[in-house]
Structure 1
């Protein structure tokens, strides 16, 4: 998948918004995408969404720099699900980017448009929930056992 340079076209992205803000914008764009009924309607939204998803991906990669590795003994209780947030969120972001790419450049049966955009919507909302719930914190604990 080639990197797009659309991010320079969107003024808000030059202000370096935090991850929760970017995630909320992605959610809004997928809401708009659900209302698109043709490729000419879909493509501008997908270009914008692609720029925002690229910034989310970059933000997730930057937050990995502050990763802390903590080892637990086998008998200690492992922390809850949110400690794995970044890994799952990064995967969801990659899925969103891939689906958005398909919507942007592929020629597909328009009967598939609501299904593809709906799937993108659901994954984006899940990713955004992760990012908003984390408060955009830069420190994430990764457990190695």
Structure 2
């Protein structure tokens, strides 16, 4: 069983250290999507733990040079005219925001209403991070 790309069970399992950047991004996307689907505090807690693990592994991955196949996947043949729509262009900063927010949510010190808003914010930040990291570069 793939521990990242399948539905999360209540007992989180560790994130494999062999995932590449895109696999980590896919895992983060899956986990943040699941956070919007589940309301059980225990299930959400497991998802927060798994998401924090993915974001922590991603920290090391962002510091390493990209593999050639990832460079090929991220390189555009021609300049793409896009408008910057990101909160920050620094992927590491976005990753830190996501990680910090998972830590806040894991603490469970907020009201249910605040948790819902923070879950939505986490979902948006994870998606911004993914968009930033998979955007083709000229």
TM-score range, shorter chain: 0.5 to 0.7
State the TM-score, normalizing by the size of structure 1.
0.65
Which residue does 1:93 correspond to in 2?
95
Which residue does 2:30 correspond to in 1?
28
Deviation at 1:114, TM superposition (A): 1.7
Specify whether residues 13 and 134 from structure 1 end up closer, same or farther in structure 2 by C-alpha distance, changes over 3 A only: farther
Deviation at 1:58, TM superposition (A): 1.2
Deviation at 1:134, TM superposition (A): 4.6
1:129 and 2:134 aligned: no
State the TM-score, normalizing by the size of structure 2.
0.68
Deviation at 1:129, TM superposition (A): 1.1
Where do 4+ consecutive residues of structure 1 move more than 3 Å? none
Higher share in helix: 1
> Aligned to 1:13, what secondary structure does the other structure show?
coil
Matching of residues 1-145 of structure 1 within 5 Å = 9-10=13-14, 13-14=16-17, 16-63=18-65, 88-134=90-136
In terms of Rg, which structure is larger?
1
Gaps of 5+ in 2: 1-12, 67-81
Higher share in strand: 1
Task: For residues 66-115 of structure 1, give each alpha carbon's deviation from its aligned partner in whole angstroms, at most 9, with x where no partner exists.
Answer: xxxxxxxxxxxxxx989xxx961111000000000011123210011221
Checking the alignment, whether the CA contact within 8 Å between 2:89 and 2:132 is kept in structure 1 is no
Higher RCO (Cα < 8 Å, 6 or more apart): 1
Gaps of 5+ in 1: 1-8, 65-79, 136-145
Give the total of aligned pairs.
108
